[in-house]
Amino acid sequence: MTKARLHFLLLNLGHFLDHLVMLVFATVAALVLRFEWGMSYSELIAYATPGFIAFGIFSLPAGWLADRWSREGMMVVYFLGIGVSSIACALAEGPLAMAAALFAVGMFAAIYHPVGLTLVVEGAKRTGMALAFNGIWGNLGVGGAALLTGLMIDTAGWRSAFFWPGIVSLVLGFAYLALMWNDVVELPKSRRAAVRAAGGKTPRKSYLPQKDRDLYLRITLIVLYTTGISALVFQSVTFALPKIFEERLTGIADTATMIGWATFVVAAIASLAQIAVGHLLDTAGPRTMFLIVAGLQAVCFTVMPGLDGWWALIVAMCFVTGSFGQLPINDYIIGKTATPELRASIYGARFVLTFTVLAMALPLIAWIHANWGFDMLFRLLAVTSASVFIAASLLPNRVPEPSAEPTPAQVAAE
């Protein structure tokens, strides 16, 4: 296997771990800690909120450091930091200690999306397919969190669900460092030298024609809006899914392991949608795919209230498919429109918004569930998904891309 393929594999494993470690607590809280610590599900969710806040706010400095120091170096920090903080979660003896450990998990987990996705885009010949395959690994991490945690609860205890992913992350961190040693240690030196030669500033290397700038502004506003709303939908779906299945799949999934399997199978099948989305992003464009997945979610959330048993499982699989299928679309648009030298920073800003909404979604989920149950949540998500459909309809069929350098003719035309 070539170095490039090994690098892509490690980036994919990193995406898997990123989503897995952020969602282990969701299953632990729903199935174990509310009995062991004598707290309600709604009360326990509050202790996960600081971790998701960190998941958001640290994305921006992570992207900034990656652009100015080393993207590969930041990935090493990511793997090692996730490993240590996950083990800290396994050692937590109470809710406050768990909240502190989850905050550390969120802080290091924030590194992956602005940095890892930048590295995926940089090494890709087909941006859509590369993001789709990478997204599948992240989605498997979402489902794998419930499956792994359910298995561990029934066999080795909930603490092992944090401990073993931490060990694996440490091993992957040292493997990544060994593979990318030159990029981590030597390349940053040349980058710093180039910045010093430019008088302390990174020279601009990209150019967007004036005729595309108004269109670029419209796309940016749409991306910002759909990013925030899509994050609310994604967090509600992924964090609450084990609890939804515990309530709705009586007779189908009655143990922690079975609930974990149901969540994993739904996530795994839904992840396959990203292959189709990735292919069509490179051919049909982002607007068409946005309309399809947002429309699917709006319909599924509308019919979900009141369902249980097999119908609840089938409809849940459909709205999870829509939620997962939507993930690579905004990343594709940013990957195409962002200037290469600032791409990690722009991804960082995008994920600050995404994960800030993720953190805000947790108390919203807890409040709605405590007062009205999940049916009200489904109705809210149906409305938000419909608004994404409307916003996506305003996207152009073509996404403008910056060129490498402005030519004298382009400058004169300005």
pLDDT tens for 309-347 read 899 999 999 998 888 888 778 878 877 776 666 667 777
Amino acid 190: pLDDT: 55
Residue 208 in any domain: the answer is no
Residue 41 in any domain: the answer is yes
* 3-class DSSP state of 255: coil
Residue 50 in any domain: the answer is yes
Per-residue pLDDT for 178 more than 60?
yes
- The model's pTM: 0.69
Cα separation, 293 vs 319, whole angstroms: 9
Query: Quick one: tokens of 128?
Result: 């859509």
* 3-class DSSP state of 90: helix
- The owner of tokens 């995406």 is 15
Q: Identify which of 223, 230, 229 has the alpha carbon closest to the alpha carbon of residue 327.
A: 230
Amino acid 186: pLDDT: 62
Residue 270 in any domain: the answer is yes
Amino acid 408: pLDDT: 47
The residue that leads in pLDDT, 204 or 357, is 357
Q: Identify which of 267, 254, 32, 50 has the alpha carbon closest to the alpha carbon of residue 162.
A: 32
pLDDT tens for 68-106 read 788 889 999 999 999 999 999 999 988 999 999 999 999
249 close to 259: Cβ distance less than 8 angstroms: yes
Give DSSP secondary structure letters for 136-151: HHHHHHHHHHHHHHHH
Residue 399 in any domain: the answer is no
Q: By residue range, what is the domain housing residue 97?
A: 3-189+216-394
Q: Identify which of 291, 272, 356 has the alpha carbon closest to the alpha carbon of residue 329.
A: 291
Distances, alpha carbon 180 to alpha carbons 6, 189, 330, in Å: 10, 15, 28
Collect all residues with Cβ–Cβ distance below 8 Å to 409 and sequence separation of at least 6: none
- Helical spans, DSSP H, in 156-186: 159-179, 181
In the Cβ-directed half-sphere of 159, how many Cα atoms lie within 13 Å?
9
Cα separation, 96 vs 78, whole angstroms: 24
* 3-class DSSP state of 308: coil
Residue 404 in any domain: the answer is no
339 close to 205: Cβ distance less than 8 angstroms: yes
Question: What is the DSSP code (8-state) at residue 284?
Answer: T
The residue that leads in pLDDT, 257 or 90, is 90
Distance of alpha carbon 398 from its chain centroid, rounded? 25
Residue 405 in any domain: the answer is no
Residue 280 in any domain: the answer is yes
What is the domain-level CATH number for residue 54? 1.20.1250.20
The residue that leads in pLDDT, 61 or 210, is 61
Collect all residues with Cβ–Cβ distance below 8 Å to 216 and sequence separation of at least 6: 208, 337, 400
Please give the tally of structural domains in the chain.
1
Distance of alpha carbon 90 from its chain centroid, rounded? 23
Amino acid 208: pLDDT: 54
